Amino acid sequence: MIFGKLGRRKVLITGIPLFIEKTAQLIENNVWRARAVNTESPKTKVKRQLRSLGMLRHLPSYDAVYQIGGPIVVPYLLHAAKALGKPIILHWVGSDVLQAMRTVGEEVRLQDRTGSLIHWVDAPWLADELKVVGIKSTVLPLCAVPDACPTPMPGGPLTVLLYLPDERFDFYGGPTMMAVARQLPDVQFLVVGGRGKNKKAPPNVTFLGWIPDMETVYARCHCFVRLANHDGLSFMVAEALGQGRHVFWNYELPGVTTITHESEIIHGLTALRRQQFEGNLPLNAAGRTYVAETFDARSVAKRIRLGLDEAIRSHSGPQAGKRALVCGLPIFAARAASTLRASGWRVRLVNTGAPKSRIDDRIALLKAVASVPFNDIVYQIGGPVVYPQLLQACRKFRRPVVLHWAGTDVLQVTTRPNGIARMDGQPGLVKHWAVAPWLVEELESVGIHSTYVPPNAVLDVNVPPLPQGRLHALVYLPEVDAHNPTGGSYEFYGGGAIARIAQKIPDVTFLCVGGHGLDKTPPANMLFVGWQRDMQAIYGKCHVLIRLTKHDGLSNMVTEALNYGRYVIWIYPFTGVLQAKNQEELEAHLIMLRDKHNAGELGLNQTGMSYVRANFHISSIKAQIARRLEEASLEYRVG
């Protein structure tokens, strides 16, 4: 299933007008499109019903309906969603839970049986209350507090902020707060949300009505008191904490003073009044820190997108979200495809890495581009660039790309950084992985941030003993010819240096795979056997692998050789490896191994064998690649 037009997740948001516009703006980005439908704005009941019915027209092209505020989802919307296989998320926010518990519990339970309804609550205590009436829900706070620098505490008398709407004056503790105000005549009370019509308020209470810009009000106040008969996770509580104001509330929350009775409010305000009079009332640092860590807009938006994404995928079949287009270097791409398939992914493998002709190149590219909309992520093994046409398709259909740098591609970008076009057309579109830690450092030097993700996987194998007779050194020396699928260069892999070493140490046999030594005149102890498919037999004949490349990634031959208990001489530091930065160091290591072997003292490389089996076993590598790829796909979707 392709979600929405050009790969965007599309969500219809309806419910409480105050919340739906804010939430639509919060979650919308280059992957998510949110449409807020205010069904409560029409003045007549008929027009409100027509507005609700109008959502049915849009429902087929949207992936989910997100209703903020319950307790009821209109039945025709619920049944239409079920028929179309669309989830409806009902986000409970406070008084709606009270309604469900008191009056419409059975109706709520009946609508829950459609299978299309998913319940969220914005506070843990609401989940407990819904559980009483048989509704299972997930806690997902809706509050998103902008990161603002709080104003200092104002001078003058202690000033308390209250929310007391005229139509629900008693529900929000109006009578109690008026009694508190009468007992604290030298404390000022500012009331928002109502005009105090027909309310008998003392002179130290000022009604401000509905205020669109609350920052100026918070700047005038020292604390906020909220004593509702029932509540969800109040926006005003979170906002007041974010402004560094002290908060008294009849629910527990970090940075909040919990109150339940009039006497507790008076006691708490009296303490604040004393501090304010003495000039040492501080900002509420604990509350501000909690809000900054929990309710910043980016984190809240990400949590909502993640919840929506999971809801959509739960209604799209068991295989949703497990589709990858794999391309790049043929051998490595084939291995990656096998790894992902073993982990439950559906994989489209396209060979874009080694085309036989220009036409083959174009055909492979077209296949890859055409596959983009039907996959969730593109996984390319080997750089240094993603084809522009493929990247354009990923931008258009909003599919992230993971580019896994393998070795020589990093050398290309570090030696010619200005020749490599920028690949990020959207923030976060391309995620970079590297097969070795040193490649991460090299990429960082040219401004490319990457993560070390090793693809090397070793199998459970029977380890043959080290052979008798002459010491045999295994070398990978490819040449550029039609029989070598990976390409390569004889000199790049140290062919000339290996030939010189072979001449200097004639009692060591050098077994060369990957090439035939074309146009070369090697010494008699340097044997070329070409491309080998059965490497287990080759490792059984050898004692040590030599890899003297000019540059390398985390070579599969290195981890394979170590897995067979063979020694490895390599230019990079690695557990169980003998590092040789030049020809002289390589010779010294090789002579040491030869002498130990001739003396009968050379056993299996237990250190290297244990290390790769503990860190590169196929089961853990498969799980890691699949998990990280799914995380990359999810991270791009939810922001």
What is the pLDDT at residue 181? 97
With cut-offs at 50, 70 and 90, classify the pLDDT of residue 270.
Answer: very high
Q: What is the pLDDT of residues 114-159, one digit of tens each?
A: 667 899 999 999 999 998 888 899 999 999 998 878 899 999 999 9
What is the pLDDT at residue 485? 42
What is the pLDDT at residue 418? 60
Counting residues of the chain whose pLDDT is more than 90, the rounded percentage is 63
Please tell me the distance from the alpha carbon of residue 66 to that of residue 118, in angstroms, as a whole number: 9
Average pLDDT over residues 541-566: 95
What is the pLDDT at residue 420? 56
Domains with residue ranges and CATH for the chain: 5-139 (3.40.50.2000), 159-288 (3.40.50.2000), 323-452 (3.40.50.2000), 471-615 (3.40.50.2000)
Q: What is the pLDDT of residues 200-212, one digit of tens each?
A: 899 999 999 999 8
With cut-offs at 50, 70 and 90, classify the pLDDT of residue 4.
Answer: very low
The owner of tokens 């009505």 is 209
* Residue 6 pLDDT greater than 60, yes or no: no
Asked whether 329 and 406 are in contact (CB, 8 A), the reply is: yes
Give the DSSP letter string of 458-517. B-----PPPPSSSEEEEEE---SSTT-TT---TTTTTHHHHHHHHHH-TTEEEEEES---
Under DSSP, the state recorded for 573 is -
Higher pLDDT, 428 or 106: 428
What is the pLDDT at residue 5? 45
Out of 33-37, 318-322, 589-593, least confident range: 318-322
What is the pLDDT at residue 638? 81
Q: Is 116 helix (H, G, I), strand (E, B) or coil?
A: coil
Contacts of residue 382, defined as CB under 8 A and 6 or more positions apart, other chains included, come to: 328, 329, 332, 333, 353, 404, 405, 406, 409
Highest mean pLDDT among 115-124, 279-288, 362-371: 279-288
Please tell me the distance from the alpha carbon of residue 35 to that of residue 194, in angstroms, as a whole number: 30
Out of 41-50, 544-553, 557-566, 594-603, least confident range: 41-50
Residue 145 identity: V
With cut-offs at 50, 70 and 90, classify the pLDDT of residue 520.
Answer: confident
What is the pLDDT at residue 49? 67
Rounded mean pLDDT of the chain? Answer: 89
* Residue 479 pLDDT greater than 80, yes or no: no
Highest mean pLDDT among 82-96, 156-170, 315-329, 412-426: 156-170
pTM to 2 decimal places: 0.72
* Residue 481 pLDDT greater than 80, yes or no: no
Q: What is the pLDDT of residues 436-473, one digit of tens each?
A: 999 999 999 998 999 999 999 999 999 999 999 999 99
Higher pLDDT, 522 or 611: 611
CA angle 488, 493, 495 (to 5 degrees): 110
Please tell me the distance from the alpha carbon of residue 21 to that of residue 431, in angstroms, as a whole number: 32
Please tell me the distance from the alpha carbon of residue 436 to that of residue 457, in angstroms, as a whole number: 14
Q: What is the pLDDT of residues 175-227, one digit of tens each?
A: 999 999 999 999 999 999 999 888 889 999 999 999 988 999 999 999 999 99
Strand order in the sheet with 138-139: 32-37, 9-15, 64-68, 88-92, 117-121, 138-139
Higher pLDDT, 429 or 3: 429
Q: What is the pLDDT of residues 72-88, one digit of tens each?
A: 888 778 888 888 888 99
Burial of 220 (0-12, 13-18, 19+ CB in 10 A): middle
Contacts of residue 501, defined as CB under 8 A and 6 or more positions apart, other chains included, come to: 510, 583, 586, 587, 590
Average pLDDT over residues 266-281: 96
Contacts of residue 511, defined as CB under 8 A and 6 or more positions apart, other chains included, come to: 472, 473, 474, 475, 527, 529, 538, 541, 542
What is the pLDDT at residue 356? 66
The partner residues of 296 in beta bridges, in order of sequence, read: 145
What is the pLDDT at residue 109? 64
What is the pLDDT at residue 482? 38
* Residue 10 pLDDT greater than 50, yes or no: yes
Of 132, 290, 142, 159, residue with least CA distance to 220: 159
Joined tokens for residue 268 = 């708490």
Of 406, 402, 400, residue with least CA distance to 440: 406
Please tell me the distance from the alpha carbon of residue 248 to that of residue 343, in angstroms, as a whole number: 51
What is the pLDDT at residue 199? 87
